[in-house]
Structure 1
Amino acid sequence: MTESRTENENTAGNAATLPPGASGPVRAGRAEALRFAATHTLPAFVRGFVNARPRVVAAYAAINQPAWSAATLRAMRARHGGAPVLVRGLSGPVLVLFYEADLRQFFAEPVRTLSLDAPDKNKGLTVLEPTGVICSHGELREERRKINDEVLAGDRPLHPACAQYQGIVEEESLALTRRATLDFSQMKQATGRISRRVAFGDRAAGDEELTGWLSELRDAANWMGLVKSRNKADRALYAKATARFEEYAADAPGHALAARALSCPAGADTDPLGQVHHWLLALDGLVGVILRTLLLLAAHPAEQEAAHADIATGGPELPRLRACVQESLRLYPLVPDLVRVTRAETVWGGVRHPAGTSVLVPIGFHQRDSARVPAADLFVPGRWLEADADRDLRMAPFSHGGGRCPGGQLGLLLTSAICAQVLRGHRIVGGRPAVDPHRPLPGTVDTAAIRLRLAPR
């Protein structure tokens, strides 16, 4: 962002203005669009929008692929003075936002105007969650989102079933510290059992078959409907998984997410269990968040000591550990691009854009933007303990506004609780891959390659 645009923004607030000399949409040139596709959108598709492909992640970590994307976005922002830029993407034009006022507008627009069910997103996620909130719009979307908010208690740092979930975490985390090393496979097994118990109750704890079905569906969702020959098989697999959900939900304990969903008032088309696919997808994503957080703590002994002091208080809040998880998510977001589609004509940077415009905020880039975020490439959990840090638009690990993830608070509760169980009575004395706390952190980490060494405390 240029200095002059930053000054204008500070004085003009949310006003949208064209850059000097502009008379219409700012469009990326052909070479610029090709570079954007080659370094940003195509790598995201190859990695997998829903289920990250492990070999691709390992390759991207080896070459620090996110640095290529960041260089492209910095060059685009500098060339166009921070104005919104229309770029030809893999499936059509997309408006990329850089200017802080545009980001503020993006998060402030109501979902009815700036919808989450973008076509590209739907092509993939309708395989996995056709009746989920993210694939819905209008009144039906509002009904489903209301159930989501109630089940996940997104407005509260401590979920109403906090005590039960803490108990589940304590029981399932015992296996994580039995050896002197902790790796991806151990954490995946433990978090898988935790997620199934949180979603359905103890009866589902060992259902690896269900997890396998869901993994297959997520792999199919990665192809965004391009593999037409799979459609019939995917629908059959979805039906089989949904039947298993219903079986577990029928006698799930009251604290389980499925039971909470069924207890909510629902219309005939609402399908309260339709969001379970998304909840399990999100819960299964915790393994990477936890391992990356612990790896960063291994490289930052002072932060690890602060986390131990947090744990010693004995309460479930764990503010320091939560801050560590949030900082890990800032550095390594689960969703690096926020994509919406307009349902009405909108104005961005002083230019009118028609309904149906795809709008993209590369939030992973913004969260590591050294021009706007202090120590952007370093691990600084303390920034999340400042007043209103969670409302800072420069950082949005769970988004903001009407599109904010309602499961953010539950995710922080579970990840910080699991981290606390690993650290309770132990220190992390080393980790791979090596992280240098005095140098900018890499753009991505091969989570499957993480190995942590534990020692008694």
Structure 2
Amino acid sequence: MRTVQGTALDGLRARVRALGAEAPDRRTPAAPTFGARLRGFVRTGTPRATAAALSALRARRGDAPALLRTRSGRTFLVLLDPVDLDRFYAEPVSLLAADPPEKCRGTAAEEPAGIGCSRGELRAQRRRINEETLAAGVPVHPSYDSFLAAVAAEAPHLTAARTLDLVRARHAVHRAARRIVLGEDAASDEELAGWLRQLRGGRARSARGVYAKAHARIQRYAAGAGDDTLVGRATRRADPAGALDPLRQAHHWLLAMDAVPGTLLNTLLLLGAHPAEQDAAAAEAARGGDAGELPRLRACVREALRLYPVVPDLIRVTRAETEWRGVRYPPGTSVLLPAAFHQRDPERVPAAHVFVPGRWKNPDADQDIRIAPFSHGGGRCPGDQLGLMITAAFCAEVLRGHRLTAARPVLDPVGPLPATLDPGAVRITLTRR
């Protein structure tokens, strides 16, 4: 293989800070064809390539997929062209399967048996029941009145102090989540909240006792849960063969709500930096919306997720030999779609680094293959509409009585927004209207 040397490599390194590479042999992928050092690898070996690195890579090699090898030795086929994204989302799981989360690679008995850790027909059955429970694709969940009441009951925790931060947002959202999943009696269960924090932090991945205690507590609440809770709805839909255990799935619904506090803060931070958008969103919140639809606020949440996605990279694994751009790859090849990069790619997305909620007014925006805050196709998050409804409702509760008058970090409303935000560092000042 030819090695890039001299000034060309120096220039590339200057752009991406740490990229050193070999040019690919396009005839065969038998050996890793593009070794790279990219900043920010996580411990599992999944690359977190910066937009600058991926832009430099595409400028140097063109739009063809590139093989990158992490420091741990794992190799990924990275998709750089939106043309390849269509195929990524359209391929059936029999050919391009979801990469199991790290937690699924441990002992099965230590992890709740959720959809993300199942395969084949069992996964399909579980997903179908999960979609019915979460009302996938339905803008307003059938239990919206109960769910919005839970949000309204917990929203005062957000505005109890003049400054809103992640700790306060998590407290309010997780209390509401326990109401929505398990019923009102679970809202104040701080012991269950503590066990879930341990599971979220990964400190109890090998501690069966934590799962067992949380499961027993969830089982107790589920026994009295009404039909307007998620566990109650799931219990009615659970099939006799046991494809979905609603009690174990409740673990995952509660943990999935972790995405809401950070997204809520990011959305409010962006609204605080854009006064006109804040005024329009506040006016919609004051009107109340139709059964929780709040289309303008939902558009703001979607735009916040476009700019700062919860999952910046999507990974699939081939189950058979595949061919991409004339190059064959063996079964077991990890295919990585850098969603955050594509969603803010200035070469393909208008106003890529600017907060423009209006882009979501286009009825086709949700199908734009370049922009995938909830993924597309068979891997789309079944709780996307429910998550939007809950996050928009929390935003509305804040905006009805308060104005966002100052925030940290300070964002430039007209200049390019920062590539990343740390929700833990966000501070939003609330002033009563």
TM-score range, shorter chain: 0.7 to 0.9
1:327-355 superposed Cα distances (whole Å, 9 cap, x missing partner): 11111111001011122232222323222
Structure 2 residue matching 1:41: 3-state secondary structure:
coil
1:407 aligns with 2:411: no
* 8 Å contact from structure 1 (residues 95, 360) kept in 2: yes
Residue 425 of structure 2 is matched in structure 1 by 449
Secondary structure at the counterpart of residue 155 of structure 2: helix
1:309-337 Cα deviation digits (max 9, x unpaired)? 22233222111100100011111111001
Higher mean displacement: 167-176 or 401-410: 167-176
Match of 2:250 among 276, 279, 282: 276
Instruction: Give the structure 2 partner of residue 363 of structure 1.
Output: 339
- Structure 2 match to 1:353: 329
Aligned to 2:222: 249
Query: How big is each residue's C-alpha offset from its partner over 1:187-229, in whole Å with a ceiling of 9 and x where there is no partner?
Result: 22111110110110011101122222122123227xxxxxxxx
1:142 aligns to what? 124
Identify the residue that residue 41 of structure 1 maps to in structure 2: 41
User: What do the CA deviations read for 1:74-118 (whole angstroms, capped 9, x no partner)?
Assistant: 122222211111222335221111122211000011123221143
For normalisation by structure 2, the TM-score amounts to 0.87
In structure 1, the partner of 2:92 is: 110
Partner of 1:265: 238
The separation in 2 between residues aligned to 1:26 and 1:83, in whole angstroms, is 17
Matched residue count: 407
Bigger mean CA offset, 349-358 vs 419-428: 349-358
Do structure 1's residue 288 and structure 2's residue 270 form an aligned pair?
A: no
Give the alignment of 1:205-220 within 5 angstroms. Answer: 205-220=187-202
**Structure 2 residue 359 is the aligned partner of structure 1 residue 383:** yes
Aligned equivalents of 1:295 and 1:119: distance in 2? Answer: 30
Query: Is the CA contact 1:367–1:373 (under 8 Å) kept in the aligned structure 2?
Result: yes
List aligned pairs for 1:13-162, cutoff 5 A.
Answer: 22-25=26-29, 32-33=35-36, 35-36=37-38, 39-42=39-42, 69-89=50-70, 90=72, 92-118=74-100, 120=102, 122-123=104-105, 129-162=111-144
Deviation larger for 127-136 or 183-192: 127-136
Provide the secondary structure at the position in 1 that maps to 2:431: strand
Unaligned runs of at least 5 residues, structure 2: 1-23
- Residues in 1 aligned to 2:108 and 2:353: alpha-carbon distance in whole angstroms: 35
Change (3 A) 1:242 1:259: same
The secondary structure found in structure 1 opposite 2:363 is coil
CA separation of 1:193 and 1:291: change in aligned 2, threshold 3 A = same
Q: Verify: 1:235 aligned to 2:208, yes or no.
A: yes
Quote how far apart the aligned CAs of 1:419 are. Answer: 0.2
Cα contact 1:115–1:342 (8 A) shared by 2: yes
SS in structure 2 of the partner of residue 412 of structure 1: helix
RMSD between aligned residues: 2.6
Unaligned runs of 5+ in 1: 1-19, 50-64, 222-229
Q: Give the structure, 1 or 2, with the largest relative contact order (CA under 8 Å, sep 6 or more).
A: 1
1:376 counterpart SS class: coil
Work out whether residues 117 and 137 of structure 1, in 8 Å CA contact, stay in contact via their aligned partners in 2.
no
User: How many angstroms does 1:121 deviate by?
Assistant: 6.3
TM-score, normalised with respect to structure 1: 0.83
Is 1:300–2:274 an aligned residue pair? yes
CA distance in 2, matches of 1:105, 1:160: 33
Contact 2:101–2:116 (8 Å) recurs in 1 = no
CA–CA distance in structure 2, aligned partners of residues 438 and 124 of structure 1: 47
Distance 1:365 1:215, change over 3 A: same
Deviation at 1:308, TM superposition (A): 1.7
Following the alignment from structure 1 to structure 2, what is the Cα–Cα distance between the partners of residues 415 and 387? 21
Contact 1:128 1:218 in 2 (8 A): no
Are residues 125 and 365 of structure 1, via their aligned partners in 2, closer, same or farther at CA, if it must alter by over 3 Å?
farther
CA distance in 2, matches of 1:126, 1:420: 40
Q: Please give the alpha-carbon distance, in whole angstroms, between the structure 2 residues aligned to 1:327 and 1:128.
A: 37
| CA distance 1:121–1:242, change in 2 (3 Å) | closer
Contact 2:125 2:243 in 1 (8 A): no
C-alpha displacement of 1:296: 0.6
Distance apart, 1:27 and its partner CA: 7.6
Aligned AA (2:388): L
Q: Show CA shifts across 1:404-433 (max 9, x none).
A: 000110000000000000000321111111
Distance (whole Å) between structure 2 residues aligned to residue 28 and residue 435 of structure 1 = 41
Q: Secondary structure at the match of 2:366?
A: helix
Distance 1:75 1:448, change over 3 A: same
Residue identity matched to 1:41: F
Identity of matched residues, % = 53
- Residue 255 (structure 1) shift: 1.0
2:147 maps to what in 1?
Answer: 165
Of 181, 185, 206, the residue aligned with 2:167 is 185
Report the secondary structure of 1:185's partner residue: helix
Q: Is the 8 A contact 2:112 2:251 kept in 1?
A: no
